[in-house]
Amino acid sequence: MDLLEYQGKQLFARHGLNVSPGHVATTVDEAVQAAADAGYPVVVKAQVLIGGRGKAGGVKLAANEDEVRTHASNILGMDIRGHTVHTLWIEHASDIASEYYASVLLDRSASAPLVIFSVEGGVEIEEVAHNSPDKLVRRHVDALDGLSHAEALAIATEGQADEDVREGVAAALKALYETWVAEDASLVEINPLIVTPERQVKALDAKVTLDDNALFRHPDNQGLSDTANEDPIEHHAHEQGLQYVKLDGDIGILGNGAGLVMSTLDVVAQAGGAPANFLDAGGGSDAAKITQAVEVILSNPAVKAVLFNIFGGITRCDEVARGLITAFEQIKPQLPFVVRLDGTNDVAGRALLADAKLPNVHAAHTMNQAAEMVVALAAGLPVPGTDDASVGS
């Protein structure tokens, strides 16, 4: 479970990390009240489960009430790479002397926790790893011993944190490690970890992922899964038991099995298209489930064409075909569909579809062909390699 920034900061504060006091707001008026409580200047921050909010215009400083109103009304409802902003976090703005980076995660290949620290914060850590790998300190921690003060200080020193704040950085790293262990997190990340002109070390951002399998040990954290901030389409899909992730393209995708769906996304991207979602209908998809899946895919207004990529193993292609026919009868979709059925009962499945003469449904025999067809259809171009809307093998 991923937490919003402000929820992550609450956990950080529990373990002694410095964070700025602030308040949540869901309306412009609440934002004004929150800003008055936090004290000007404030920073108005979109609360969405995706990074890069600053670059997208979702993080703005405000010196007075007028500016809070402007920024709050701009940011509420904003779409940040497929995530709609419903919640703001307003905190007292910090002055920044330096932006560092710190994180703790599990390094599975080393079977050990890994602490990462850099004085090059505020940018994507992958960028730092690429451009200045010498500025990145990676240190494994003995899970039984934990992170000692001496080790934390050694990381700050090796990372060349300003000398006068090395103790402060070490304390922050220890608190971050404590958070990771005590809250059963799989990732805790602070970017940026700032040094203020007063030389205080403070978490300006928070990215926390909790291990769902350990949530039963943390009754306090169980309420953190914030369905209001979940994308409404994702929320609906999850209620139906569908594995759905909204993406920002225009080609709806449905497949069976996470691996197949992921490679479908890749093949569509390779063909020049942009997937609108990940949707794994799972094994043994029956007609009802396919109908639900089609409804979920089409509830995203960005979708211009849909690709069904089914490889029948446990899933029987004739079941999928029946599901598709039922879905079409109920929903009467206006969009083009490309269907690739392969594997168990594929001949029967394709025959069913051909008999049904569904409008605007195109059959494909390979994944690559299916991808090229759906990309053309989404762009409103003629379909390569087929005659018309007929389906058949």
Task: Name the residues that contact ligand GDP, by CB under 6 A.
Answer: 43, 45, 51-54, 59, 61, 93-94, 96, 99, 122, 191-192, 204-205
Q: Which does 260 bind (CB under 5 to 8 A by kind): Mn ion, ligand GDP, none?
A: none
> 285 - beta bridge partners?
none
**Distance of alpha carbon 190 from alpha carbon 172, whole angstroms:** 10
Residue 189: active-site member: yes
Q: How far is the CB of 269 from Mn ion (least distance, A)?
A: 26
Three-class secondary structure of residue 246 per DSSP: strand
Alpha helices in 159-224, H assignment, sequence order = 166-182
Q: Which does 282 bind (CB under 5 to 8 A by kind): Mn ion, ligand GDP, none?
A: none
Judged by beta carbon, residue 65 or residue 95, the one nearer ligand GDP is 95
Tokens of 31: 């934002």
**Distance of alpha carbon 323 from alpha carbon 281, whole angstroms:** 12
Q: Which does 52 bind (CB under 5 to 8 A by kind): ligand GDP, Mn ion, none?
A: ligand GDP
Q: How far is the CB of 119 from ligand GDP (least distance, A)?
A: 14
**Distance of alpha carbon 242 from alpha carbon 139, whole angstroms:** 39
Q: How far is the CB of 134 from Mn ion (least distance, A)?
A: 22
Judged by beta carbon, residue 168 or residue 323, the one nearer ligand GDP is 168
Q: Which does 94 bind (CB under 5 to 8 A by kind): Mn ion, ligand GDP, none?
A: ligand GDP
Q: How many helices (H) and strands (E) does the chain have?
A: 12, 18
Residues that bind Mn ion (CB under 5 A): 191, 205
Candidates 6, 101, 177, 244; catalytic one: 101
CB 251 within 8 A of CB 374: yes
Residue 101: active-site member: yes
Q: How far is the CB of 75 from ligand GDP (least distance, A)?
A: 12
Q: How does 113-130 read in b/e, with b if 16+ C-beta sit within 10 Å?
A: bbbbbbbbbbeebeebee
Residues identified as active-site: 101, 189
